């Protein structure tokens, strides 16, 4: 199969088109390796993860260039992703030693305790928007917990998952503990999810594909963790630091050309400051430098021609319905080469709460503005979609910020800095954004199972 450079719109490398036979081979390898890996001391597992983190940092320039070529994102963003992947392995290298059971107060004549065991063979279906960092946030805690791994990267962006597996083996990971099967979702992903020996599936992607994953995993009663995207609101109250809010929103929606499950794609803004903030956002959107990722632009291409078509269709629908497009709204090319799959940074103003651009995930550089008059209306707008992944709040009012954080139906809330936090903070969604948590110590629990023991020891 070919993998494409979105900045030029052409193939730049090829990779193996895996199928069910390759999945079977990977599962067999993982099962064999798991007999010893699950019994390896947590500190020894952590040492291997720490060496992997050091190798990622040592090879960061190469990994970042390949990630930029494969996904299209600007090189600076790819460099950040690589640094985040290294930090993820460092975190779980230390966290491996935190896995411990409990004792239960059953009384003088009884002993009760729990044992934390690895879940077994784990499958990781990795999306195309953050290939390396999403792979790391699933693979690292799974390995720390003593699980074996089979990763299936998206067919659009397979390269850094393959390189990550190579680095893990160089770090001392035994053969068979981490396997990568490349190919399409139909030919490689579905057989992996359906395999009866797989005991846990982590999937990041669309809602409909997530539903399919659940259905495929159900016959084997395989545990599933789903992260299915969102339509995340950024609420700006009238007293907010406008400079910080504007910069936060620009990053929230235009980073990676808006191809982020947790993108701040809805601006829920107090009407008193609506005009000033929107005017400044339009100016910032129009000033972003556009180009091939390796030239370090501020704004890069969409990942594929199919994704470009989907984004364009959403925006054209909004235009047809008479919505106000303040800036952007058209497919474009790299101004230097005349090539690539780009879409202008776009802002749509005053969209009705039931409009498709408010309710549906566009997964592109499209910000939808929703003015409000009261805090109650802001909360209703924020919770007014079927998604519940993340949300942002900008205000100087401490109490208002935390009331909103309490009442917003989302898995994570950022206050006064969008994308605040890091690998230490659990991440996942509510409603149709999925269930289960990645990152933080919660991820170790996701890849573990609890065995309880109760014994009568007295007379």
Residues marked as catalytic: 227, 261
Rounded Cα distance between 60 and 90, Å, is: 15
Rounded Cα distance between 197 and 84, Å, is: 31
Question: Can you say how many angstroms the Cα of residue 399 is from the centroid of all Cα atoms in its chain?
Answer: 30
Rounded Cα distance between 347 and 342, Å, is: 16
CB 444 within 8 A of CB 97: no
| Cα-based distances in Å from 412 to 249, 358, 408 | 16, 20, 9
Q: What is the DSSP letter of 188?
A: I
| Cα-based distances in Å from 410 to 351, 388, 427, 428 | 22, 4, 10, 9
CB 93 within 8 A of CB 144: yes
Q: What is the DSSP letter of 185?
A: I
Q: What is the DSSP letter of 81?
A: H
> How big, in percent rounded to 5, are the helix, strand and coil portions of the chain?
45, 20, 35
| Cα-based distances in Å from 117 to 63, 172, 175, 414 | 33, 22, 21, 33
Rounded Cα distance between 68 and 79, Å, is: 9
Give the phi and the psi of residue 423 in degrees, each rounded to 5: -65, -20
With CA atoms as reference, report the closest residue to 150 among 94, 188, 207, 184: 188
CB 330 within 8 A of CB 344: yes
Rounded Cα distance between 289 and 296, Å, is: 9
Rounded Cα distance between 77 and 64, Å, is: 9
CB 393 within 8 A of CB 359: no
Question: Can you say how many angstroms the Cα of residue 332 is from the centroid of all Cα atoms in its chain?
Answer: 26
Rounded Cα distance between 129 and 365, Å, is: 13
CB 100 within 8 A of CB 115: no
CB 429 within 8 A of CB 227: yes
Q: Which contiguous run of DSSP H or E holds residue 47?
A: helix 42-58
Rounded Cα distance between 96 and 185, Å, is: 31
């Amino acid at each position: 199969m070919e993998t494409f450079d979105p900045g030029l719109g052409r193939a730049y490398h090829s990779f193996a088109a895996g199928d069910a036979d390759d999945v079977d081979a990977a599962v067999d390898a993982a099962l064999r390796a798991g007999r010893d890996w699950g019994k390896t001391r947590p500190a020894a597992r952590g040492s291997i993860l720490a060496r992997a983190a050091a190798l990622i940092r040592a090879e960061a320039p190469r990994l970042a260039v390949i990630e930029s070529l494969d996904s299209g994102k600007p090189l600076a963003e790819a460099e950040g992703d690589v640094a985040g992947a290294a930090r993820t392995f460092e975190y779980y290298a230390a966290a491996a030693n935190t896995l411990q059971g409990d004792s239960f107060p059953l009384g003088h004549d009884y002993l009760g305790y729990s044992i934390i065991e690895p879940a077994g063979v784990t499958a990781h279906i990795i999306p195309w928007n953050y290939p390396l960092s999403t792979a790391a946030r699933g693979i690292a805690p799974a390995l720390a917990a003593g699980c074996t791994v089979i990763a299936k990267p998206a067919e659009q962006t397979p390269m850094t998952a393959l390189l990550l597996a190579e680095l893990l083996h160089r770090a001392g990971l035994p053969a068979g503990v981490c396997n990568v099967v490349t190919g399409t979702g139909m030919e490689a992903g579905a057989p992996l999810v359906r395999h009866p020996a797989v005991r846990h599936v982590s999937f990041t992607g669309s809602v409909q594909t997530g539903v399919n994953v659940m259905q495929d995993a159900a016959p084997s009663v395989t545990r599933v963790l789903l992260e299915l995207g969102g339509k995340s609101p950024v609420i700006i109250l009238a007293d907010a630091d406008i400079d910080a809010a504007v910069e936060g929103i620009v990053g929230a929606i235009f980073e990676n050309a808006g191809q982020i499950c947790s993108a701040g794609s809805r601006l829920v803004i107090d009407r008193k400051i609506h005009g000033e903030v929107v005017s400044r956002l339009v100016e910032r959107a129009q000033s972003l430098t556009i180009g091939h990722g390796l030239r370090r632009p501020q704004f890069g291409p969409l990942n594929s021609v199919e994704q470009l078509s989907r984004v364009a269709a959403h925006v054209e629908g909004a235009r047809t319905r008479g919505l106000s497009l303040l800036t952007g709204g058209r497919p474009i090319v790299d101004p230097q080469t005349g090539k690539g799959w780009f879409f202008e940074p776009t802002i749509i103003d005053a969209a009705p709460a039931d409009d498709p651009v408010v309710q549906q995930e566009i997964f592109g550089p499209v910000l939808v503005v929703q003015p409000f008059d009261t805090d109650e209306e802001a909360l209703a707008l924020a919770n007014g979609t079927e998604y519940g992944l993340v949300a942002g709040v900008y205000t100087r009012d401490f109490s208002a910020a935390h009331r909103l954080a309490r009442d917003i139906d989302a898995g994570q809330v950022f206050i006064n800095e969008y994308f605040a936090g890091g690998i230490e903070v659990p991440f996942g969604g509510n409603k149709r954004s999925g269930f289960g948590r990645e990152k933080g110590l919660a991820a170790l629990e996701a890849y573990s199972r609890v065995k309880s023991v109760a014994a009568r020891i007295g007379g």
